[in-house]
Amino acid sequence: MYNIYRNSRDASWKFLIEYGVSELPLDLKRITAQMGVKVCRDNAGILMPNELGITVNAHGNFHIIVRDSPIQQKRYTIAHEIGHIVLGHTEISVNPYIDEYQAERFATGILSPACVLWGLDIHSAEDIARLCDISITSARIRARRMAVLYKRDKFLTSPLERQVYEQFSDFIKHYRK
């Protein structure tokens, strides 16, 4: 299971690097535009009752369909669906549980990168929610994981993570003032 976690984590770092993300909250409109992905509300009612969003591949063009919900929930859903696209989960899945886990991990990684939260010395769910423009529920999950990461104190051990941190260095410096 650690390999699945690591691959998703690394994919989120590569994504942040590739799209030149250097500040929070992540500008999802800019990112989806750069990716050529269209985001649409579920006006046609195609989402199942338990779905917040889906990705549709129409002739090689990706569309993320989202339920009308609070903005923070919508942001997380869009990031989750971007994860499916980036991780190649756009066809019939062999293991939907793993695909969902990976997309969740990816969404958390791009919306609230651990090394940036660490660089800002942010611990509370409320601060994470405010900084990253995510729901308090998602922020609580991130805060619990950050507590584990703070205990381990193994930040910036990966070259990719160091690159992400460097990319955010101006943001971190200005935010901490």
Is the N-terminal amide bond of 25 cis, ω within 30° of 0?
Answer: yes
Q: What is the pLDDT of residue 177?
A: 72
pLDDT at 160 over 90: yes
HSE-CB at 12 with a 13 A cutoff on CA atoms is: 26
Q: What is the C-alpha to C-alpha distance for residues 151 and 147, in angstroms, rounded to an integer?
A: 6
pTM surpassing 0.85?
yes
Predicted confidence at residue 151, as pLDDT, reads 97
Mean predicted confidence (pLDDT) in 102-129: 98
Average pLDDT over residues 159-175: 97
> Is the per-residue pLDDT at 92 higher than 80?
no
**Percentage with pLDDT > 70 across the chain:** 99
